A and B are shown apart, each in its own frame.
Chain A
Amino acid sequence: EVQLVQSGAEVKKPGESLKISCKGLGYKFTSYWIGWVRQMPGKGLEWMGIIYPGDSDTTYSPSFEGQVTISADKSTSTAFLQWSSLKASDTAMYYCAKHSARLPDYWGQGTLVTVSS
């Protein structure tokens, strides 16, 4: 059974760094893209970017390029989304999703990130 298991909720202060994770289970992790999607409180879905764990090829949405870093560790079948300096506007739910040929087919349960002073 394919599963994407995300790390737990985080509460951070503005300016702090953060790295959240998404572990792929039940499939060959290195053969499928994993993307990240943001959902701000009460708002819609925004596609942030995607990585191919096999070779770490990464594409970002222009809206998020330079704001976050997407990476992956093949040895642990885990993808990551990280910030070097959080802002209050980064408060959101973040979902990872396994993609098959650019199509999201399986989703993680989400990680809630709260940034507040």
Chain B
Amino acid sequence: DIQMTQSPSSLSASVGDRVTITCRASQGINNYLAWFQQKPGKAPKSLIYAASSLQSGVPSKFSGRGSGTDFTLTINSLQPEDFATYYCQQYNSYPLTFGGGTKVEIK
């Protein structure tokens, strides 16, 4: 199985900040990397696919970068609605695997 390691596991930030979350795969995943946002008590929401492509309707404040094994999610100008847990997932090969999540909290 491909292991996905996210860091940090949590972070505190203020409204207006820019934050970056990192995701590392245990082997190359050909950019088959997705990012999801999950708010408490809600289903995950798809944000980014193919490492850097925004899902329809997702604001451009979210951006993804990376290739091979190292990827990042950046959120610009944090707003109250962005405080949530973010997960990366590789979909290069079965079994699909998620990172452990990064909880973005209000400072």
Contacts and interface: CB of A to CB of B under 8 A. Distances in A.
Interface in B92-107: 92, 94-101
Contacts of B97: 47
B94 A59 contact: yes
Interface string B74-107: 0000000000000101011011111111000000
Given A44-B99, A44-B101, A103-B49, 6 more contacts: A49-B95, A62-B95, A103-B32, A104-B46, A107-B43, A109-B43
Interface of A: 35, 37, 44-47, 49-50, 59-63, 95, 97, 99, 101-110
B55 interface: yes
Nearest to A64: B95
The interface residues of chain A, by DSSP majority, are classed as strand
Interface residues of B, number: 23
B103 to A, nearest CB: 10
B28 interface: no
Contact of B44 (A63, A95, A99, A103): A95
Interface of B: 1, 32, 34, 36, 38, 43-46, 49, 55, 87, 89, 91-92, 94-101
B44 A107 contact: yes
Contact of B87 (A44, A101, A109): A44
A107 B98 contact: no
Nearest to A97: B44
B5 to A, nearest CB: 12
